[in-house]
Amino acid sequence: MRKILSFEEYSTLSLYPTLKSSCSKIGIKYREFLEIKIVYNELCGSDLVADEWINYLFILYEQSWDVSSITDFRRIGALQFQTLRSICSLVQNTINDALETFYLTEFVQSKLVFQYSFQLQINTLTTEFIRLLSKTILRKLHFIQNITAQSLFMTGASVISVRPVLAYQPFLEYSTPFPGINYTFTDGSTCICSSSTSTDCLGPTSFQNEIIPGFQTGCYTVSALLQSTLEAFLNQTFIDILTNSSHIFRQLNSSIFSSTIETLLSQLFILQWLNQTSY
């Protein structure tokens, strides 16, 4: 009967680094010895992506769409935060699916692997997994943005802000394209959504003719959102003015919201990855 070595006895075998395993099976799935735990940041579990907040923003839109400018937060807020919630959901689902695939991968080794070397290999594997996962999500999002811009598609968020040319030329018998949406921002900058550079047409959002720090709007909702920060929502006074002190929204507490959404997305909205390995 083959003797089962104790951990101490097994450790002494490190004196023989070329010793091969006599096991018939030299592969084991990652899920058998590895668990990756994730600590997400506050954003995707905050009031900013809750139904009550987004529904409130839609009410603001309905009350003000015909009396506000296209850069007014009341005009675009609901769409921006609905998009943010979708991105949160996309990231979390992608992470869960990727982890399931990762756990099914086999760690294959014909020679004995000692604890230090084993931990080093696992750390390298998990670091590379995280890096590629982040790049994959951003690459997909940027690909969609580029296709949209190069095709000169008009987004719903922009269309609701203008009237088509045909509305003013009822006697024309042919179709007339949109001439492009002109943006004039509160800071005086201007741009037009009529070219493949529309993704760069960005400027500050306003509320009651005041600039909202860090929050962007422009031709495309996703582009503007990615370049935005949520620093304004660290300010309880601003929140009270926006919500009429209805307390449907709690002030954010983390300094990470001074970073752009794209920066937080590149981190997958994660504060910490915890790698628990059983040797």
Q: Please give the mean pLDDT across all residues of the chain.
A: 80
Structure tokens at 107: 């760690």
- DSSP track, 48-109: GGSHHHHHHHHHHHHHHTTTS-TTBHHHHHHHHHHHHHHHHHHHHHHHHHHHHHHHHSEEE-
Residue type, 269: F
Integer angstrom CA distances of residue 105 from 92, 100, 123, 125, 137: 20, 9, 15, 11, 21
Top pLDDT among 159 and 18 is at 18
**pLDDT of 213 over the 60 cut:** yes
Cα pseudo-dihedral 57, 60, 62, 64, rounded to 10: -140
Q: pLDDT digits over 84-137, tens only?
A: 999 999 999 999 999 999 999 888 776 777 777 788 888 898 899 989 998 888
Asked whether the beta carbons of 76 and 228 are under 8 A apart, the reply is no
pLDDT band at 182 (very low <50, low <70, confident <90, very high): confident
The helix/strand/coil state of 124 is helix
The helix/strand/coil state of 171 is coil
Integer angstrom CA distances of residue 25 from 13, 32, 45: 19, 14, 43
Output the pLDDT for position 162. Answer: 41
Which residues have a Cβ under 8 Å from the Cβ of 1 and sit 6 or more positions away? Answer: none
* Every domain of the chain and the residues it spans: 26-277
What does DSSP assign to residue 244?
Answer: T
Q: Closest by alpha carbon to 24, among 96, 110, 84, 114?
A: 110
What pTM was estimated for this model as a whole?
0.79
